[in-house]
Chains A and B, each alone.
Chain A
Amino acid sequence: MSERLEVKKTYKLYIGGSFPRSESGRTYEIRGKDGAFIANACLASRKDLKDAVVAARSAQASWAGATAYNRGQILYRIAEMMEGRRDQFINEICAADGISPKDAAKEVMAAIDRWVWYAGWSDKLSVLAGSTNPVAGPYYNFTIPEPMGVVGSIAPEEHSLLGLVDAIAPIIVSGNTCIVLASSRAPLSAITFAEVMATSDLSHGVANVLTGQKKELAPWFASHMDINGLDISGVDEPSMISDIKTAGAQNLKRIHSFNGAQNPQRILAFMEAKTIWHPIGV
């Protein structure tokens, strides 16, 4: 009895809720730690980034306008879908990183649990960053944290799935939309994760996933005038960091970098604080 041939997955980009190929038509090879060919991933271009920003911007107002409860539920649903695809994630990580299934499973479960952790923050941010302020006058004065808009995110090379969770969840839970550049070494989890998001009631354009090269795309993330903030936790090279900050100064992007721990500051870093005054009087 001959062996059955597997129907292999094609890995594309995730932009505006659809899975297009790169407009440049380019791909690059993903090989496992053992050198074996795994798949061709799309090599995203600056035009793909441009399209992703348009998609993210058009989705932002209504995503921010949803109730915090609603956003929390949608993010929790993403966790449900992730859990359903656990084995697929484990296989991809094993192939890409050459680690044991047991270790891969640990990372996947940590990624799911971290996603759930971020999901639970959606309706609790005011505890951390909101306040009523005792000004010296007959005014009601209160501060509310608000999402800033469209945020670009460069995911770390290692821990492709856990790093991806950190690169997306804290940004979108508060009402921002994002474009994330996946680990170029191991992008496949990112596309599988995009499939998870596509089946989770997440509105089109809230999260967009590009696969490609940091060197090529980082400058375009940094200079795009319709991106409000950048998470560059996935950039290690000091000269690249410096170049990004220089280019980002053009529209004063809020640029941040974090280490790998789960931290609500990752959410607050991409929010603005709005303070409102209103007189109190009969």
Chain B
Amino acid sequence: MKHYGLVDGTEGSLLNFLKGLPGVDQVGTEARAAMLATRSIKTSSKKFAIDLAISMVDLTTLEGADTPGKVQALASKAVRPDPTDPTVPSVGAICVYNDMVSIARKHLDLVGGAHVPVAAVSTAFPSGRASMAVKIQDTTDAINAGAGEIDMVIDRGAFLSGRYIEVFDEITQIRALCGDRAHLKVILETGELVTYDNVRKASFLAMLAGADFIKTSTGKVAPAATAPVVLVMLEAVRDFYQMTNHRIGVKPAGGIRNTKDAIKQLVLVNETAGPEWLTPSLFRIGASALLNDLLMQRMKMRDGYYASPTYVTID
């Protein structure tokens, strides 16, 4: 059913739906997120959470200064995060700019990472300020180069000025391009949307337009994936499932720097959307420095003493 039968693609229908969403109380949301952050995850559950988090990491490099060398190092790290310990799982994906996709894909396949997808940021990431023709070309290039996942940005200018149908149409077009060759993550850039009401609206808009994943941020704007924002998005995917029987994934990106932060995210998932979402096919964490902290914590759990950065690889 097109758009799950909830909207018919017209502006009026979309506006009606979005206006009908309940508001989000800021203080209540932040209090709930803060309470869930007090969960104490220790011993066996911590071990489980660390490995799960590693398997969910979208290992990312999105710098102007990226080179083939850098991307290749990232790809090796993605497949074998700890060369001394083969029990460490591979990450969920690697995430690069679209002109690095073929290098990434090639190298992954070379080092035994055929099972690790390449996610490409797309549609004039990070600002989204370009013509639709450019965005379409951007996406097509990435898919042709071997990207299995597209992380697109929404037009925040259009959203904030109330032109929801434009945002919606852009997403449906990119979704159509992806077809069944790539899954689509839609980046909301929650830091620019500012209010939780907007985050909820944008989440539903993206899901109705065909997102496979809703993603918090580009990582270039702070605040990024704060706990309350992720909470609101998890509530949205949970409610969407109730309405449509479809599970959409969530990807927080930016600001998740250490194991504690990552585990807090998993607790949010567990107690909001539910354990069905505790899989890399429905939850990813966009990060770079996080992986080494996860590895060090994993070492501590394995060996019983605190680790040092000397014992993890820099890419």
A contacting B, Cβ–Cβ less than 8 Å: no
Q: Chain B residues in contact with chain A, CB under 8 A? A: none
